[in-house]
Amino acid sequence: MKKTLTFFFSISMLLSISFSQIVINEIMFNPYYETTPGDVSTYSTDDDGEFVELFNAGQSDVDMSGYKFVQGFDFTFPNGTTIAAGKYLVVARSKERFKADYNADADLEWGPGSGNGALSNSGEDIVIVTASGDTVDIVDYDDEGDWGAKSSGTPPTATAASADGLGPSLELKDFAADNSLAASWGITSGQKGTPGAVNSNFNGTPWSSGGGGTAGGGSGPVRTHAAGTWTGDTSPMINSLNAASTDTNYWQYFDWGVAGLSATSDSMPGHYEVNQNSVKDSGFVNVSYSTDVKNEGTGSMKLDVSVHGTEGWGGYAKIQHMHPDTAKGFYDWSKYDTVSFQYYMPEAASHDQVLELRFNVIEYSNVTNPTYTPADGDGGQTLGEYYYSFTAPRLGAAMTGWATVDIPLVEDPNNWDNKNGFNRTGWAGISGNTTFDTDRIKGFSFEFSGNATDRSVATATVYIDNITLKGRKTTPYVYFNGKASPADMGSPFGWGDGSASTLEVVSGAGTSTETNALKWTMGGDGWGVTGAGWNINPNHDMSYEWMKDTVQFKYKTNKFSGDNIRLQYEAGSGKLVKVVDITADDKWHTVKVALQDFVYGDGTTSGFDTSKVKVFQFIAQGKGYAGETMMITEA
């Protein structure tokens, strides 16, 4: 009966409440507790953990003196209660319980054990009215159906996402949506809510004082990211920043708190990180994407930045990306000599020459048991070897166009300008092996570092575009270095009719007595060919080198009865060959052949994949060479 009456009442009030400035934004109606954390057998409920969060979605402050909750629980707002535009107000059943749960203070409490009631675990109306009795907002929530799965058992379980005694709260997905509809609500992950912050499932347009995004980050932080359409770019592009990623955690989610484990104020999670003593909602980086402002492609990333200078050195706010494969994943930038991006700030920063833009790199060559979650006493391991860059000048006046930042992929402790490379300052991370191993990149960050120490808040809106690698280098693939073959060449193979060719290392047989050489003993000639070489594992990616580089070696033989030898690469289903004539005078001769001069052979006309070269071998052609030897070494 109650729900039927409420339905008709809601319809009659639709025009007056749909555009309410004060919105019921989050409801914690059935908290979950383990008296021994982690032990589900110690499950218990505690109504004192309940709260209702209100949000002021308008553009002006609202004096709530005398407003009342008249259904759900009984509570009258004291005189002087105000919700600022774009801000939250949390009414908890118990401030003490709320503080224990969220390490933050609720704005008001309706009173544990006061007789003011508790929220129903099976759903009911929550109604708030003005001092004169006009309805402000109504939500008739439920514990089942479109509101989520109903739980059962002790401890409770549910077949799908549920706010019914499993701990999560109900969150409004968009404060502009009709919050009388179940479809407008969602359920938080984990066993707590997000009081006093942007809801974790928020998918609307973030509030701002202008009704949209404004310079310097609008009114406050946006702690969650919605999924976009970007799925990746082709190397050397790292991220075109044309659109948000389909992975909502592309920019790392600091779920232990944006100000770290030792936060003094802001212990709420978010997709950004700030300095330890940054006051809640004062430091942040809000990420969005623009198709109107861009340097290349179809879009760029917009960063609304706020940095709270509460430390002795200032403060910072940053976003950070980590490789999605925590245990084994790396980005290999070693084939390039520069990392680059563009930035643009169309409006002046709030403070001149305070904020410095930094692109920092996280390198994991010496991190064992990788994890992205920090712990007390871990020595900064989650940041690995942390390399800073420093973009000059600091942000100040509005820019008239895009600036390109090129950072050499080198490290020097004297680098204080991105033009010279990176600097492992030791301010964060571990010392590692003190070598910048660019094939072991685990992630990167855009950091805005402020040098103000007067507790002022510095803001700016900066667009970032086109994170890419530049200056492709040729990779010197080595088959034999005058001493031995590298591990990826493995043990050499040989073949021939009757007897197989062999390759063996002979000490001191190189171009000097200090170097070695390979002795190729040629196999039987019944097939008119015999050869020896290597199976390459892992395969060599020579797609860039193929049109630019050469294969070179020295050989020496005092007798060769064949017609010639051919060098042969194999990749995919194709084979590429190059014939080399041999001089048999027992002197060293240098062979240098451009890779692009190799042609299809050995019965193939297509299918060679230069990115997956798997075989290299020497093949003698003709007759009469069986048992003859040739010494081969590096050129």
More confident call, 187 vs 503: 503
Question: 126 pLDDT exceeds 50?
Answer: yes
CA–CA gap between residue 77 and residue 128 (Å, rounded): 10
Per-residue pLDDT tens digits for 610-622:
999 999 999 999 9
In the CATH hierarchy, which fold is given to the domain comprising 1-213?
Immunoglobulin-like (2.60.40)
Beta-strand ranges (E) seen in 473-573 are: 493-495, 502-506, 517-521, 529-540, 550-556, 564-571
pLDDT at position 15 is 30
Q: Which of 14-23, 113-122, 223-232, 420-429 has the highest mean pLDDT?
A: 420-429
| Architecture, CATH, for domain 487-633 | Sandwich (2.60)
Letter string b/e over residues 48-65, b meaning 16 or more CB atoms within 10 A of that residue's CB? bbbbbbbbbbbeeebebe
Question: 623 pLDDT exceeds 80?
Answer: yes
pLDDT at position 47 is 85
Tell me the domain boundaries of the chain. Answer: 1-213, 237-473, 487-633
Among the residue ranges 46-60, 457-471, 534-548, 619-633, the one predicted with the least confidence is 46-60
Among the residue ranges 32-41, 349-358, 556-565, the one predicted with the least confidence is 32-41
Q: What is the CATH number of domain 237-473?
A: 2.60.120.260
Mean pLDDT of the chain: 88
pLDDT at position 65 is 95
User: What is the mean predicted confidence (pLDDT) over 110-136?
Assistant: 86
User: What is the mean predicted confidence (pLDDT) over 57-82?
Assistant: 91
Reading the block at residue 188, the tokens are 């938080």
More confident call, 185 vs 447: 447
Among the residue ranges 66-70, 222-226, 351-355, the one predicted with the least confidence is 222-226
Give, in order, the Cα–Cα distances in Å from 80 to each of 43, 77, 106, 132, 481. 39, 9, 16, 16, 81
Question: Comparing 237-473 with 487-633, is the CATH topology the same?
Answer: yes
Preceding omega of 155 cis (within 30 degrees of 0): yes
**In angstroms, how far is CA 579 from the centroid of its own chain?**
49
Answer yes or no: are the C-beta atoms of 275 and 311 closer than 8 Å: yes
More confident call, 18 vs 612: 612
pLDDT at position 453 is 87
Per-residue pLDDT tens digits for 352-409:
999 999 999 999 999 988 999 999 888 889 999 999 999 999 999 999 999 999 999 9
Name the one residue in this structure whose structure tokens are 């709530």. Answer: 64
User: What is the mean predicted confidence (pLDDT) over 300-326?
Assistant: 95
pLDDT at position 429 is 93
pLDDT at position 81 is 95
User: What is the mean predicted confidence (pLDDT) over 417-434?
Assistant: 92
pLDDT at position 5 is 29
More confident call, 216 vs 221: 221
pLDDT at position 20 is 57
More confident call, 117 vs 522: 522
pLDDT at position 169 is 86
Name the one residue in this structure whose structure tokens are 């505690």. Answer: 46
Compute φ and ψ for 279, nearest 5 degrees.
-75, 145
pTM higher than 0.75 for the full model? no
CA–CA gap between residue 497 and residue 524 (Å, rounded): 5
CA–CA gap between residue 119 and residue 27 (Å, rounded): 9
